[in-house]
């Protein structure tokens, strides 16, 4: 069985001298009840960038252009107890978008200071890879979950070359 192709985007803003990230309380589907990044599955024929622009619009009602996406790397999620949940995830950051994030049937968006992420409400692995990606590191991450499909059995992260152009 091949891993599902998915994508995540983390919108960043500077607010009162600190950096905030947009996360969302998942209201339905995979990860219900957890605070997660905005994103979802690629549709047939879509690139990861096209998919994340669509997903951000559907889930939080803002418009992100492909040219505004910063490639933060990938995260491969491996669920040995439920291989049908395996995911290859392309992660993007963006500092530019149009509109105000608003709630959908799937996500209740929430701004959080990057320095104090709500880890107790997030997937256990996110504490390891999300802060370095938000800080500008570009990583190829592999997370293997335990049989409980919640806790981390194995974690590896390899640095990737920085993209040729980065936006500040």
Q: What is the mean pLDDT of residues 99-106?
A: 97
User: DSSP readout, 45-100?
Assistant: T--HHHHHHHHHHHHH--B--GGGEEEEEEEEEE-TT-GGG-EEEEEEEES--BS-
Q: Which residues contact 118 (CB under 8 A, 6 or more apart)?
A: 23, 35, 112
Q: How confident is the model at residue 163 (pLDDT cuts 50, 70, 90)?
A: low
pTM of the predicted structure, to 2 decimals:
0.94
User: Looking at the domain assignment, is residue 112 inside a domain?
Assistant: yes
User: Looking at the domain assignment, is residue 44 inside a domain?
Assistant: yes
Question: What 3-state class would DSSP assign to 42?
Answer: coil
User: Looking at the domain assignment, is residue 121 inside a domain?
Assistant: yes
pLDDT digits (tens, 9 = 90+) for 108-153: 999 999 999 999 999 999 999 999 999 999 999 999 999 999 999 9
Q: What was the pLDDT predicted at 168?
A: 46
Question: What 3-state class would DSSP assign to 20?
Answer: strand
Q: How confident is the model at residue 166 (pLDDT cuts 50, 70, 90)?
A: very low
User: Looking at the domain assignment, is residue 101 inside a domain?
Assistant: yes
- Residue 51 sits at φ, ψ, to 5 deg, of -65, -45
- Residue 7 sits at φ, ψ, to 5 deg, of -145, 150
pLDDT digits (tens, 9 = 90+) for 26-64: 999 889 999 999 999 999 999 999 999 999 999 999 999
Q: Which residues contact 94 (CB under 8 A, 6 or more apart)?
A: 9, 10, 11, 12, 64, 68, 69, 70
Q: Is residue 21 over pLDDT 90? A: yes
* CATH code of the domain in which 54 resides: 3.90.79.10
Strand pairing class (35-36; 107-113): unpaired
User: Looking at the domain assignment, is residue 26 inside a domain?
Assistant: yes
Q: What was the pLDDT predicted at 114?
A: 96
Cα–Cα distances in Å, from 97 out to 34, 90, 126, 161? Answer: 24, 19, 24, 25
If one counts the domains in the chain, the total is 1
User: Looking at the domain assignment, is residue 118 inside a domain?
Assistant: yes
User: Looking at the domain assignment, is residue 125 inside a domain?
Assistant: yes
Domain that holds residue 88: 4-159
Q: What was the pLDDT predicted at 161?
A: 83
User: Looking at the domain assignment, is residue 139 inside a domain?
Assistant: yes
Q: Is residue 167 over pLDDT 80? A: no
């Amino acid at each position: 069985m091949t891993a599902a192709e998915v994508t995540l985007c983390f919108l960043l803003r500077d607010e009162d001298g600190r950096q905030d990230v947009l996360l969302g309380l998942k209201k339905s589907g995979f990860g219900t009840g957890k605070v997660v990044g905005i994103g979802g599955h690629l549709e047939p024929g879509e690139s990861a960038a096209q998919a994340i622009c669509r997903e951000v619009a559907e889930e939080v009602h803002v418009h992100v252009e492909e040219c505004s996406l910063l490639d933060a790397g990938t995260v491969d999620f491996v669920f040995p107890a439920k291989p049908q949940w395996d995911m290859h995830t392309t992660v993007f950051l963006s500092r530019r978008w149009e509109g105000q994030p608003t709630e959908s049937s799937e996500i209740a968006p929430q701004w959080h200071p990057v320095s104090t992420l709500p880890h107790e409400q997030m997937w256990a692995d996110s504490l390891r890879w999300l802060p370095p990606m938000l800080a500008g590191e570009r990583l190829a991450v592999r997370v293997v979950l335990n049989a409980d499909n919640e806790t981390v059995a194995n974690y590896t992260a390899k640095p990737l070359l920085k993209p040729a152009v980065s936006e500040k």
